[in-house]
Structure formats: structure tokens, C-alpha cells
Amino acid sequence: MAIQFYDVKNRKKVDVDEKDVRKTTYERTTKDGSKQVRYALRAKVGGVSLTKFISKDGWDALSAPQE
């Protein structure tokens, strides 16, 4: 199954095979001291790094390796 990313550098949508996708999380502390977690998928196509932010449910459902 292919996952669609948007390539900002080349300004077009790119389909990436699921086996080439890695899961990752980005954590930060907000001004009020609470922790915010964002879930993302990462891929590299033709030397260009691609990132796609998704929901936690979608992140949990995907069986890709985690960075």
C-alpha cells in the first residue's frame, strides 16, 4: 500500500511504498508546562526528506518501524 506525501521542494504529491516509511514522534513542552506530542511519518525519496503529520489512531494502525 502506498502512502501519499507532499513534496514541498518539487511542489507535487508523491506516493511512497509503506516499506520505505518510518514512524516518529515530536515532543515539546508548551508555555504552560504541559507536554505536546505530534505523530508523523517520514520517508526519503530522491534525496528529499518527506514528513507527514497524522493522527495518533493512524500512527498506531500503521505497522512501520519507529525511529
Q: What pLDDT was estimated at residue 1?
A: 83
CB atoms within 10 A of CB 36: 9
Residue ranges per structural domain of the chain:
2-61
Instruction: Please check whether residue 64 is in contact with residue 23, taking contact to mean a CB–CB distance below 8 angstroms.
Output: yes
The predicted model scores a pTM of 0.88
pLDDT of the chain along its 67 residues, tens only?
A: 899 999 999 999 999 999 999 999 999 999 999 999 999 999 999 899 999 999 999 999 999 999 8
Instruction: Please check whether residue 12 is in contact with residue 22, taking contact to mean a CB–CB distance below 8 angstroms.
Output: no
